[in-house]
Amino acid sequence: MRFVNKTAVVTGAATGIGAATALAFAAEGAQVVLADINQAALDDRVAEIQAAGGVALAVETDVSQTSQVQRIAEAAVAAFGGIDCLVASAGIQTYGSVVSTDEDTWDRTLDINAKGVYLAAKYCIPQMAKGGGGAIVNVASVQGLFSQPNVAAYSASKGAVIAMTRTMALDHAADKIRANSLCPGSVDTPMLRDSAQLFNPANPGGAINEWGDLHALGRVAQPAEMAQVALFLCSDAASFITGAAIVADGGLTIRI
């Protein structure tokens, strides 16, 4: 197991990529601190980990709130003595052009998707440095590299995550901390299913299948597949990878 005696912090850990990542870390021996605003679902994930013999702690968190994110790092140190890995996965999907997106939606999207990543790093990095180093994976999106119509705030937030991750890698290499961003395509998460319901309420499954057909592999990803990329980037096998935007999109962006 790759993460025995390691402590991993995962935000957005109640559902989707974050939940799959937390479960994967625990299966590889890590002590996992799960953070999310959804306490009930968070408790379910912790119960899953514990039922499988793993070690986990839940911290109810709104990642846009400084004091709440600070509490994640404090809880990790109090319970497990430090932080070795951080996967910042909390995020929301919003739709609209620059003109049609209202200011509250813009602010909320950037607060959760970008500020939440900043705050998680701000409070976890000092603990990683004290412990001799670590690894960070910030979940971005291919929409931070490319885009489509009517995702102005979301695309901006994910582009910010990718750029911020590069600066983290530069600023903290001397602390033996690596930082990379993970850029998925479409992933079968509650967020994607909400989008499918929005765009095709009569047949949301059909919408997901249509989106899957846009990928060279002919399907959307499963959260567990993204979790394995995140764990690789946090592992010693990725010891010379930092500042990279890792595209794991099933071939969505390779077409001309």
The pLDDT value given to residue 154: 98
Active-site entry in 95, 118, 123, 154 = 154
User: Beta strands 31-36 and 55-60: pairing type?
Assistant: parallel
Quick check: is 154 catalytic? yes
Residue whose tokens read 């197991």 = 1
**How many CA atoms lie within 13 Å of 25's alpha carbon, on the beta-carbon side?**
34
Domain 7-185+221-248 CATH assignment equals 3.40.50.300:
no
pLDDT band at 196 (very low <50, low <70, confident <90, very high): confident
Share of the chain above pLDDT 70, in %: 100
| Average pLDDT of every residue of the chain | 97
Residue 135 confidence (pLDDT) above 90: yes
51-to-9, 23, 130 alpha-carbon distances in Å: 19, 11, 32
DSSP 222: P
State the Cα–Cα distance between residues 95 and 153, nearest whole angstrom. Answer: 7
The answer to whether the Cα torsion of 38, 70, 30, 171 is positive or negative is positive
- Taking the model in full, what pTM does it have? 0.96
- Dump pLDDT digits (tens) for 20-45: 999 999 999 999 999 999 999 999 99
For the residues 87-94, what does the mean pLDDT come to?
Answer: 98
Axis-axis angle for helices 152-172, 103-110 (nearest 10): 30
Share of the chain above pLDDT 90, in %: 97
For the residues 137-146, what does the mean pLDDT come to?
Answer: 98
